[in-house]
Amino acid sequence: MSDRKQRNPIFPLMKVELIEKAAAIVGDNQLLVNIVSKRVQQINHGADPYVPTTPDMGSGDIALTEIVEGKLVWHEMTEEEYQQTLEEGDLAPRRTAPAPTPKMEPDILTVQANI
């Protein structure tokens, strides 16, 4: 099978096989997109991958492989946690965004290593 057939035409940088396996683990496609996006951001900003990589793996493939191999855990904030975070002004600074302001909302998804 050629590399072209193994790639998803919508997301050409991510292998279909990895997307399908990760989707089965996460169970919600929208949540999967959010988890992969968050992890890709982390990797693109210098975070080390939790899995061995090859030169042909993009950040999306790495994030999906981490999910498939059980190297990532995620936590969605409850409404109470979200409101408490807003009230306390506990906003994590981001490397790519300007300094947090009171108008910024916190991330509602946390992605961490499962080591």
**Is the pLDDT assigned to residue 27 strictly greater than 50?**
yes
Cα four-point dihedral sign 81, 107, 111, 90: negative
Using an 8 Å Cβ cutoff, are 12 and 54 in contact?
Answer: no
Quick one: pLDDT at residue 76? 75
> Could you tell me how far CA 59 lies from the centroid of its own chain?
10
Quick one: pLDDT at residue 80? 85
Cα four-point dihedral sign 22, 26, 28, 30: negative
pLDDT in tens, 62-98: 999 999 999 988 877 788 887 787 777 655 543 344 4
Quick one: pLDDT at residue 99? 40
Q: How many CB atoms are located within 10 Å of the residue 83 CB? A: 11
Q: Which residues of 26-59 are buried (b: 16+ CB within 10 A; e: fewer)?
A: beeeeebebbbebbbbbbeeeeebbbeeeeebbb
Quick one: pLDDT at residue 84? 81
Average pLDDT score over the chain: 75
